[in-house]
Amino acid sequence: MKELNNENAFFNAEELITNAPDQDFDSCLKCDFNLKESELYDTYRVCSSCNFHFYIKPYDRLALLTDRASFVEFNQELTNVHEYTHDELPEYKKRTKSDVERTGLNDSVITGIGTMGGNSCVIILMDFSFMGGNLGLVSGEKISLAIDEAVSRKIPIVSIISSSGTRIEEGILSLMQMAKVTLSMANAKSKNIPSLSLLTNPCTGQAYITLATYSDIILSEPGASVGMSPLKDLKGDYGSVDFESRASDSMLKRGLIDSIVNRNQQKEQISRIIDLLNNNHKLVYENNESNKPNFSLSNLSIEERVKISLSDKRPSSSIFLKKVFENFFEIKGDRLLDNSDRIITGLAQLGSQTVMIVAQENINENNSIDGLKSSDFRKCSRAINLASRFNIPLITFIDTVGHNMTYNEEIKGIGTSLGETMLSMAQMSSPSISVLITRGGSEAALSLDISDRRLMLENAILVMGDNRDDKDSLNKPSIIGAKECKDLNIVDSVIPEPVGGIHMNPDECFSLLRKFLMIELAMLNKKSERSRFKDKYKKFRNISDFNNSYLYNLANEAIAAKGKITDYISKKISDRKRKIRKIQSE
């Protein structure tokens, strides 16, 4: 069996879409696999051996993506009123006529309304077989009209893009279509209309910029060429460009798209994302707030709790996500440079309500060099801002040694990125809950902890200064446990762990956390945005008032003193409270 590389297969495919889009293949363009009796190829035009995604005709694609007989096309008859461009360019006129006859389309885009998994959405499909799928006067107008329709109906926009380059024959008027589409998308964003793009091979040029990069969620088919310039126009350092570096799989690693989805899973995935973004259900707690569960905490010393928190068997954030939530869809990347596993972001459901998850995944907790990087904070900010825009509650999981303290990260602006995350948390318009599950290291932990409700697992610890290298006697890290944090009003609730720690029976803790989160979220759902912000502001202002900073210093003093810390803190706190009560009664 011959094995071609992706680049050859891609260029062969591109040429064939233009010259013979209807062609059926007996063998795969990439791996030569026999396709004659392949169900996957017959239905989805995908090679069942190497997963190469062939071109699929636009109406066939719509039939795969939308619910049966639901798609209604609009503006099918729209034509170019600027006939002068045709008269001056007879060759262009001839090609337009032949593309119209061959494809049955009036231009490079099909627009309409349809349902996906029962969800209504406006669909914009750009098709490479008509003039390379580029943006001309007719396609620009059709796209803007479609976006306006989504705004007036308050339904999501789904764009499916196979496009390349520019409609050079229509000159400056073609370029202006980008401005027009950009303004339509800006209007849709200001009205909080969700947008999702599916990139197919190739997805480049003006359509990539104006439809794909503006979308809230970007999916791609495997092996698609994705970027601004068509691959054949790009000149690398040595006169050629590495195809793989521009393929969708590589763009995923570089944080520019959210997910690669095979064609046979696209309808299900897109429907699921729209369900999550539509955010149609809200949790309600029928009981009184005063009847919330109340638990006594263990009397273990801080040293014993630190030991439990450092157990290798303690579950990481990714396990919590699987066990506490349903229907998780991961969104990836900082939409600039990187996507790392140190931060997990995505939409999920808690009960029936959509929530955005932002979780720190402590992949190597004992190595401070692995602390969170600037791209990790950008990834957090992107998810937080998305949740805020669609009024989706945010749940953060905190487990980090701290931020990455290298010079390299400093010059990448880690301070700005971390600050942006913190400010996004403070400005959240939707409800937010943070959960400190294992270790909260300094500023990196706080970046996801400026929330309406702060929860902490019983044996988790809050640490200040642990990621520094110069730990001399004056630079000892401050360590404080959940019990002390509760006494100091640093956290709102402590989630009990099984005897011996969560690792002894994680499911017990997962179901308890789930119960806490559902009650807290239902309580927050009842409050207005303004009232939530006021409560949050008051809470954090109170932590740093005189009485509390005094208590915080006491806790640190106690830890430095070691020994019977819990008793020491309790005694000092009750002494102080007694004094305050005495002063108040006088």
The site for Zn ion (CB under 5 A) is made up of 28, 30-31, 33, 47, 49-50, 52
CB 257 within 8 A of CB 219: yes
CA 395 to mean position of chain CA atoms: 13
The minimum distance between CB 525 and Zn ion, in angstroms, equals 50
And the tokens for 240?
């050629």
The minimum distance between CB 13 and Zn ion, in angstroms, equals 12
Query: Which residues neighbour 368 within 8 Å (Cβ) at sequence distance 6 or greater?
Result: 401, 402, 405, 466, 467, 469
The minimum distance between CB 29 and Zn ion, in angstroms, equals 7
Element (H, E) at 94: helix 90-103
CA 527 to mean position of chain CA atoms: 26
Q: Which is nearer to Zn ion, 244 or 268 (CB)?
A: 244
The minimum distance between CB 11 and Zn ion, in angstroms, equals 16
Distance between CA atoms of residues 505 and 323, nearest Å: 13
Q: Which is nearer to Zn ion, 210 or 248 (CB)?
A: 248
The minimum distance between CB 130 and Zn ion, in angstroms, equals 26
Q: Which is nearer to Zn ion, 28 or 573 (CB)?
A: 28
Query: Which residues neighbour 343 within 8 Å (Cβ) at sequence distance 6 or greater?
Result: 358, 359, 360, 361, 372, 376, 379, 380
Q: Which is nearer to Zn ion, 47 or 394 (CB)?
A: 47
Q: Which is nearer to Zn ion, 41 or 214 (CB)?
A: 41
The minimum distance between CB 282 and Zn ion, in angstroms, equals 47
Element (H, E) at 374: helix 374-389
Q: Which is nearer to Zn ion, 13 or 357 (CB)?
A: 13
Q: Which is nearer to Zn ion, 41 or 128 (CB)?
A: 41
Distance between CA atoms of residues 357 and 398, nearest Å: 11
Cα dihedral angle (439, 521, 542, 585), rounded to 10 degrees? -120
Q: Which is nearer to Zn ion, 27 or 301 (CB)?
A: 27
The minimum distance between CB 199 and Zn ion, in angstroms, equals 20
The minimum distance between CB 79 and Zn ion, in angstroms, equals 40
And the tokens for 90?
């007879």
Q: Which long-range contacts (CB under 8 A, 24 or more apart) does 279-284 make?
A: 279/353, 279/354, 279/390, 279/391, 279/392, 281/351, 281/352, 281/353, 281/354, 282/353, 282/525, 283/350, 283/351, 283/352, 283/353, 283/518, 283/521, 283/522, 283/525, 284/522, 284/525
